[in-house]
Amino acid sequence: MQTALAQRGTHVSLRTVYRTMSEVGLIHRHRRPHGITKADTETQNRENLIKRNFSADKPMKKLLTDITEVQCADGKLYVSPVLDCFNGEIVALEMRDNMKKELCIDTVKQLREKYGRLDGTVLHSDRCCQYTSYAFRRELVTNGLIQSLSGTAHCYDNARMESFFATLKKEKLYQIPTYRMKREEVKTVIFRYIFGYYNTQRINSFNEGGLPPVALRTSTGLAHHAA
């Protein structure tokens, strides 16, 4: 404002400008929303039921999910898996050419189709709009699932899911020219890697003795919920 006045030939001190603007109510006083920020943080802490504890003593009691994208020749492919914290097994997988909320909703529906109603099972994800949408939350309630959400910008709150994505890309997707392949081809590659190798053959450092996910579940005699 002082500069604007000077350009018009009125030369006054900064103090005078401030006092005059303050007297006529033109000074914006910054308010720090301490209460709102604190409440929001407290709410996020309550909603994070996992709290970076990625272990479980039974199958299908604590699940993780997220979305990752892969560049293909005909556009991006969005991958939505669900990981069981008990043994690291990928128990559901949906892949689409978009990341609308229906991708996540159908991933949950696949859980219901394969394992039945999962009353009391916790499903943890980040806080993106797909997972906080009314439609997604309604689907969780319909299937008896309890929602857990990471804190905003807290990537480590879902670290085990991120670790799976890193493994998928490092061991398979970065080894092939996905950007030259069509989505359907890449879908097949991902499906075969997960269900033909990752779940059944790959050493899993999270599991005792490095057992592959299915081998660990089989050795314990614990079964998935039956549909």
Q: Distance between CA 199 and CA 149 in Å, rounded? A: 25
Q: How many residues does the chain have?
A: 227
**Prediction pTM value:** 0.79
Percent of the chain with pLDDT over 90: 71
Each domain of the chain, given as residue ranges in start order, spans 62-220
Mean pLDDT, rounded, for 168-181: 96
Predicted local distance difference test score (pLDDT) of residue 112: 94
Residue with tokens 């998928």: 168
Lowest mean pLDDT among 47-61, 123-137, 143-157, 159-173: 143-157
pLDDT at 104 over 90: yes
Residues 97, 94, 209, 215, CA torsion sign: negative
User: What are the two backbone dihedrals, phi and then psi, of residue 11, each rounded to the nearest 5 degrees?
Assistant: -110, 110
- What mean pLDDT, rounded, does the chain reach? 88
Q: Are 6 and 113 in contact (CB under 8 A)?
A: no
Q: What is the pLDDT of residue 4?
A: 57
Kindly report the CATH class assigned to 62-220: alpha beta
* DSSP summary character for residue 195: I
Quick: pLDDT tens for 176-222: 999 999 999 999 999 999 999 999 999 998 998 899 999 999 988 76
Closest CA to 168 of 186, 195, 192, 190: 190
With CA atoms as reference, report the closest residue to 101 among 64, 62, 140: 140
The structure tokens listed for 31 are 């308010």
Contacts of 38 (CB under 8 A, 6+ apart): none
What DSSP state is assigned to residue 212? -
